[in-house]
Structure 1
Amino acid sequence: MSRVQRIAILGAESTGKSWLTQALSSVIRARGHAVCTVDEVLRGWCAREGRTPHPHEQMGIAIEQARAVEQAPPVWVVADTTPLMTAVYSHMLFGDDSLYPMALAHQALYDSTLVTGIDLPWVADGLQRDGPHVRGPVDTLVRQALERAGIAYRVVYGQGHQRLNNALLALGLPSEDAAAWALREQSQYAINQGRTVWQCNECSDPDCEHKLFTGLLAKRSG
């Protein structure tokens, strides 16, 4: 690894963005580099407010997400979503495409953009939700926005170790040794008593990103 990079992880719900963000950060850190992991602002916002944001609140969330990256120290930065995801959801849910200029201007600041593929299984959790069919339209909107702006991106497929290694290769980084990966997996599994691979804030459940957002949206519209 020759120089620090800003890496953006984008993608539809239930495609493991948070897991990949944490996995990449862990590998880069284990290789001796300082890493700043930027969490998804929307998730914290919904947890704090107990609801999903209204249309007029979308821009504030996008700005906060951008600020978290732009104010990060000069180290490796791995961002779990960017303002572009806020723009896509604002467009899809509210028919408002006004966030795209700001979001795409910010997206151009990243050295690499990864889009998580929709190949992971949809895991039902008992909550009312739209279902796996929503992932296709979101994935399409993300790719269309990036292509309109001329921003290069790579799509990452696979599960677990394979998905991580595909992401590393897409970034031009050496793949992860399977033994080192297995050791980290076992350590996190023991910490969380077998419930998931990662701790809650590093969840590997592909549906966890969607759970809060869709559940709150269902309550608001119900």
Structure 2
Amino acid sequence: MSQRTGLVFGKFMPVHKGHLALIDFARKQCDHLIVSMTVTPDDVIPAAIRLGWLTELLATYPTIEVVTASDDFHDPTLPLWEATKLWAAFIKRRFPAVSVFFASEEYAIPLAHHSGLHYVSFDPLRQQVPVSATLIRQQPAQYWEFIPDVVRPFFVKKVCLYGPESVGKTTLAQQLATEYKTAFVPEMARSFITSNTFTIDEIIQIGQAQTEAVQAAERIANRLLFCDTDLITTQIYSSIYFDQIPPELTALERSVQYDTYILLDIDVPWVSDNLRDQGHRREEMLNRFRLELDKRHLTYHFISGSYSERMIESQKVVGALLRQPILHDKIR
């Protein structure tokens, strides 16, 4: 008896639990299942990231083969009937062993006609898993339950609480994390040093630890991640204490991108501790922090007022952030 080779194809932008249900449905009916991910240069989620997700999610199934295919066969100006003729030709050329394909979309019927392949429909009304990749890209927070764990870090919105010493960053990060039932990343410097006598190597270690802490917290965050500080801050203090910024810190800054910054004003009382020593330069330091954001053309919100007012204003910022769709130039 000949082997039955099936095909599931799509952009998987991103792969979600509906896709996984379709793939599992198809896998159980085939000896060999090809999962083909189509890619174009304009995809809003890079192909390498999507391929990594699919590969990890399907690694435990030996009968599934994950491949990529350049989407140079689709002509969006054509009506569906004519467009699927081109798709059929591509499938026959690229996957000659395929005898059946599985899909949930309306293109499946004309594609089956043009290709001569058997077509098996799966949940066309999306009743089993009521979601689409488009909906997730538009409102990832709203459809969070349908996003696989391996995919979620890409959609976590990262908020950096930012500003000079003693403006309430740590307290606000903790309050916001509690309010939104998610994680927060503390200032890692306090785990490494107990005074402002330290070396350039130690400040590099602090930068590395801060970056690793953010990347680890992304994997467990619930839609949002609040970070007490960032690598720009580490660079500012490196410049102050050592009159230089190691290139390692600049490289580490590029490895984490925040969706927005909340720059906190200095209009709250100064609270001294064994690490804070810039109280006499608060205005100057605030201007320095703001300048670094402006130089990088980063999005930020300047928040002043009492601690309770800061919380209220920060929640407004977060609410707007959660409603934002994925950006077309978002690459991580």
Q: Same fold (TM over 0.5)?
A: yes
The 5 Å alignment of 1:1-222 reads 3=141, 4-29=156-181, 35-47=182-194, 52-72=197-217, 73=219, 75=221, 76-98=224-246, 101-102=250-251, 104-106=253-255, 109-123=257-271, 130=277, 132-172=279-319
* CA apart distance, 1:132: 2.9
Q: Which has the higher contact order (CA 8 A, sep 6+)?
A: 1
Pair 10,124 (structure 1): closer, same or farther in 2 beyond 3 Å? closer
* Conserved? CA contact 1:87–1:103, under 8 Å: no
Shift of 1:131: 5.8
Contiguous gaps of at least 5 residues in structure 2: 1-138, 142-155, 322-332
**What is the number of equivalent residue pairs in this alignment?**
165
Whole-angstrom distance in 2 between the partners of 1:93 and 1:154: 27
Q: Aligned letter for 1:112?
A: T
CA distance in 2 between counterparts of 1:135 and 1:5 reads 29
Conserved? CA contact 2:196–2:275, under 8 Å: no
For the pair shown, the structure with the greater C-alpha radius of gyration is 2
For residues 128 and 46 of structure 1, the distance between their equivalents in structure 2, rounded to whole angstroms, comes to 8
* 44 and 82 in structure 1: CA distance in 2 versus 1, 3 angstrom threshold: same
Considering fraction of residues, name the structure with more strand.
Answer: 2
1:173 positional shift = 5.1
The Cα offsets for residues 145-192 of structure 1, whole Å up to 9 and x where unpaired, read as 211111111112111221100111223359xxxxxxxxxxxxxxxxxx
* Alignment partners' CA distance in 2, 1:105 and 1:128: 26
Are residues 163 and 102 of structure 1, via their aligned partners in 2, closer, same or farther at CA, if it must alter by over 3 Å? same
Alpha-carbon RMSD across the aligned residues, in angstroms, is 2.6
* 4+ aligned runs moved over 3 Å, structure 1: 127-131
1:113 and 1:15, CA in 2 relative to 1: closer, same or farther beyond 3 A?
Answer: same
Question: For 1:149 and 1:128, how far apart are their aligned partners in 2?
Answer: 27
Distance 2:306 2:180 in 1: 19
CA contact (8 A) 1:158 1:166 kept: no
3-state SS of 1:171 partner? helix
Unaligned runs of 5+ in 1: 30-34, 175-222
CA distance, structure 2, for counterparts of residue 106 and residue 53 of structure 1: 24
Letter in 1 for 2:265: G
Are residues 130 and 38 of structure 1, via their aligned partners in 2, closer, same or farther at CA, if it must alter by over 3 Å? closer
Is the partner of 2:244 in helix, strand or coil? coil
Distance in 2 between the 1:57 and 1:148 partners? Answer: 26
> Residue 53 of structure 1: SS of its match in structure 2?
coil
Q: For 2:272 and 2:196, how far apart are their aligned partners in 1?
A: 21
Q: What amino acid maps onto 2:261 in structure 1?
A: T
For 1:103 and 1:54, locate their aligned partners in 2 and report how far apart those are by CA, in whole Å.
Answer: 18
How far is 1:17 from its partner? 0.7
Q: Closer, same or farther in 2 for the Cα pair 1:63/1:131, shift >3 Å?
A: closer
State the percentage of identical aligned residues. Answer: 26
Q: How far, CA to CA, are the matches of 2:275 and 2:214 in structure 1?
A: 33
